[in-house]
Amino acid sequence: MRIARFVKDGQDPAYGIIELAVDGGEHPDTIAAITADPLAGVPVNYTGERHDLEDVRFLAPVIPRSKIVAVGKNYVDHAEEMGGEVPPAPLLFFKPNTSVIGPDDTILRPEGCTDLHYEGELAVVIGRICKQVPPERAHEVIFGYTIANDVTARDWQNSDGQWTRAKGADTFLPLGPWMNTHLTIEEAEKLGLETRLNDEVRQSSSTSQMVRGIAELISFITSFTTLLPGDVILTGTPAGVGAMQTGDQVTVEIEGLGALTNPVADA
Ligand code: MG
């Protein structure tokens, strides 16, 4: 199931189930509105409203309830391009939920940042409160998957010594365009991932190249912190990260999860 958050005609944001037309079918791609946030723990029904996809604007499919936990250097080739190796234990950092933007929203380069990078990543959306999750039970706490761009002020990351400012600025986490709730962990760990800057391919890899898989990450993260429904885990980026300039357009595409495109501008 593909679940999106959207607005239509300036109305309040709503959630819906995307129904993609099969090739040659007579019906257009549509979104069927539902009554509530599927992560809110309340019963959800169809409202009966259905819209053509081209008539709605997608928002970030989830606003993380408490946090985004991200892992650094989880692809060997990216660790190498950063001048290092994959750390002996997962290297984690938080991004605040205020860094989240949706598809087509503008990534803003903060004043003083001179090296703004894209990082295309698979994002895992958590579905239930959890702590101390063993790897073999990680699938029970996953709600779905979406695409993330872990935008990074590379100059601040290098100069600050820790990553709060470099990773946490407003607009530094495009998410979307929807959540896919029907993938198994095994399926999510073999998806093609491509990042394009102005239609030029810059990252081309597969989630199969992650060093630490989704179950191991969830187990490690929940060994020290509680995850809440709607929290998001970023699983790391492959090689090919690079700078974005004002006027650029960046797209992260993951097989089965769609494409997430954002323009770039100065704040
Ligand atoms: Mg990253």
CATH number at residue 133: 3.90.850.10
| Model confidence pLDDT, tens digit, residues 33-84 | 999 999 998 999 999 999 999 999 999 999 999 999 999 999 999 999 988 8
**Cβ neighbour number for residue 204 with a 10 Å cutoff:** 14
**How far is residue 118's CA from residue 105's CA, in Å, rounded to a whole number?**
14
Look up the domain containing 24 and give its range: 2-58
Q: Are residues 34 and 112 in the same domain?
A: no
Neighbours of ion ligand 1 (CB under 5 A): 119, 150, 237
Using an 8 Å Cβ cutoff, are 254 and 122 in contact? yes
The count of domains in the chain is 2
Q: Are residues 52 and 124 in the same domain?
A: no
Q: Are residues 213 and 182 in the same domain?
A: yes
At residue 19, the pLDDT reads 87
Boundary residue ending a domain (58, 83, 106): 58
| Model confidence pLDDT, tens digit, residues 81-110 | 988 888 999 999 999 999 999 999 999 999
63 in any annotated domain: no
Distance 238 CA to ligand 1 centre (A): 9
Distance 117 CA to ligand 1 centre (A): 10
Q: Are residues 80 and 101 in the same domain?
A: yes
Distance 205 CA to ligand 1 centre (A): 14
Q: What values do phi and psi take at 37, rounded to 5?
A: -65, 120
Q: Are residues 118 and 232 in the same domain?
A: yes
Q: pTM score, two decimals? A: 0.96
**How far is residue 194's CA from residue 205's CA, in Å, rounded to a whole number?**
6
Mean pLDDT for the chain overall: 95
243 in any annotated domain: yes
| Model confidence pLDDT, tens digit, residues 235-258 | 999 999 999 999 999 999 999 999
| Model confidence pLDDT, tens digit, residues 148-187 | 999 999 999 999 989 999 999 999 999 999 999 999 999 9
Number of helices followed by number of strands (H, E) in the chain: 5, 20
